[in-house]
Structure 1
Amino acid sequence: MSTTIPEPELQQQFDRDGYVAFPQYLDHGEMTELVANVDRFIGDVLPRLPAEHVFYEDRDDAATLKQIQQLGQYDAWFHQLLTVGRFPDLAQRLLDGPVVPRNMQYFNKPPAVGQPTPAHQDGYYFMLDPCEAVTMWLALEDVDQETGCVRYVQSSHKQGMREHARTGTLGFSQGIVDYPTDSDRLNEVAFPAGPGDLLVHHAMTIHRADGNRSATRSRRALGLIYYSERAQEDAEAHAAYQQRLAADMKSANQI
């Protein structure tokens, strides 16, 4: 299925708020196929991935799988999903021009142990000039405030890059230093979601999520990242950052 928001209104919403939501962007049949392929990837492909692309809340407990990086790099089915069809087409509409598919990620907050995601701006990690990119967040199951739904700070993409510093959260190594300000609290909006619901935000939009307080329910989602072709990545600085991060995580026995 395609977006049901008319083109001018879609762009207005995204430009105004820094995010836009699409309920049931994928239908039941599409989600059944997608979830089956996620499970296949975890069972068959994940064991062959490098340690720096797989994160666990507890490295010794496979049930606490937290995050997988670059699904499209390691599997043809996910490469197709990332690079062809409605997801890159939507990114191109929102960024007003050709895009570069950059990453597909798996996210989870396992029951009871899933940690909060610190408030951050994706652009801090991306290191782009200009910072023109979108992240798409697709719910694989019901996600609510108990399990840690995404929370956006409305219109925060217009206010520049906030100061970030290292956090102790695996997979989200940077967080905004002075979060939350009074303005952050006033403008934060929570987005509970169901299977197939899609959220899309600008790389400068501040967002976060609480930890998973449920003792029984997981919080699984996919993330898809697209850069505008106009955006130039500081590839050397980005690679150096990734190397430092991997070294830090290894020394802390996190990967």
Structure 2
Amino acid sequence: MADSKDFKAVPLEEELSQLERDLKFYPSTTADPQLLTVAQIEDFNRDGFLRGIRIFDDQEVIANREYFDRLLEQVIAAGGNSYSISTAHMKYGTVYDLLTHPRIVAHVKDLLGDNVIAWGSHFFCKMPHDGKAVSWHQDASYWPLSPSKAVTVWLAIDDADPENANMRFIAGSHHYGHMTYRPSGSHEDNVLNQTIDNPEQYGAPVDDTLKAGEISIHSDLLLHGSEANQSDRRRCGLTLRYCAADVRAGMDWNAKGVIVAGSDPSGHWLNPPRPKND
């Protein structure tokens, strides 16, 4: 797991504390969205997330799952685990294709504006009875990005529902800015290393129930997490990370940013090519 720069369990607090970051929510100002509706833009600005957006048909769902099954088998054989496939678009051409997929990018563009960067890709795969929870957290706590104009797309590889520990959101919590968290120890069986306690003080949890091939999109400031998967079913999702092109990345994270819409006039993001291996 330690080989992933965008994997949230990597301890980055000391380096992040030295960066000046603007961590307040910037609402979408898109007035003429191409795929989303104006009502969905309003919902995102109010709640901090959208869910249940169909991207892939049944045949594409099968192809995505079969690809991940093969990839997971290879990673485990090499000594990794179901959480260690991270910064995957820099290593695997098929993941790069998913990160830059026109149907996904078009939805993100409706939220972030004309110039969009895709910089992160990480499989969060909860095996049956794996016993690990993803504690309540904000993505922005782990990322050296500023200002806070970033979203995560969660692509369901498998169906995700309460039985197999779907992700949960606290609607509207992105309006509270950067929250206080505590370190999370290994004894807590937490995939991450931060925990925000008493999340209900910010609102009621909402299940991000998805069918395979659907996505949800959430703000980097939205409070979210998931329980341990105690079921007999796997729950795999591919997180795809995007930001507006005027966002600045510290700690050399700009090296993994791909221009997926518009342009990057500043040249800050290095726009790496598609990997050849798969």
Does the alignment reach a TM-score above 0.5? yes
Q: Which runs of 5+ in 1 are unaligned?
A: 57-64, 240-255
Amino acid at match of 2:224: H
Aligned residue pairs total: 220
Q: Verify the 8 A CA contact 1:119 1:206 in the aligned structure 2.
A: yes
Query: Which of the numbers 249, 252, 255 marks the counterpart of 1:233?
Result: 249
Query: Quick one: distance in 2 between partners of 1:198 and 1:39?
Result: 19
Change in Cα spacing, 1:86 to 1:23, as seen in structure 2 (3 Å) is: closer
Matched AA of 2:158: E
CA distance in 2, matches of 1:124, 1:138: 21
- Aligned residues of 1:108 and 1:114 also touching (Cα < 8 A): no
Q: Which residue of structure 2 aligns with residue 221 of structure 1?
A: 237
SS of corresponding position for 2:54: coil
Indicate conservation of the 8 Å contact 1:116/1:211, yes or no. Answer: yes
Provide the alpha-carbon RMSD of the alignment. Answer: 2.6
Normalized per residue, the structure richer in helix is 1
CA contact (8 A) 2:115 2:245 kept: yes
**Among 65, 72, 88, which residue is 1:42 paired with?**
72
1:32–1:133 distance in 2 versus 1, CA, 3 Å: same
Residue 182 to residue 32, structure 1, CA distance change in 2 (3 Å): closer
Match of residue 223 from structure 2: 206
In structure 2, the gaps of 5 or more residues are 1-32, 256-278
Q: Aligned residues: percent identity?
A: 24
- Contact 2:52–2:210 (CA<8 Å) still a contact in 1? no
Which string of whole-angstrom CA distances, capped at 9 and with x for unpartnered residues, describes residues 14-37 of structure 1?
A: 111100013432110111111122
**C-alpha deviation, 1:10, in angstroms:** 2.2
In the aligned structure 1, how far is the partner of 2:83 from the partner of 2:95? 18
Q: Aligned equivalents of 2:101 and 2:164: distance in 1?
A: 31
Aligned mates of 1:237, 1:20 — CA distance in 2: 26
Deviation, 1:211, is 0.5
Give the conservation status (yes or no) of the 8 Å contact 2:34–2:106: no
Q: Which moved more, 1:88-97 or 1:73-82?
A: 88-97
TM-score, L = length of structure 2: 0.71
Deviates more, 1:78-87 or 1:146-155: 78-87
8 Å CA contact 1:165, 1:175 repeated in 2: yes
Alpha-carbon offset, residue 196 of structure 1: 1.3
* Poorly superposed stretches of 4+, deviation over 4 Å: 3-6, 236-239
SS of 1:146's equivalent in the other structure is: helix
Which residue identity is paired with 2:246? R
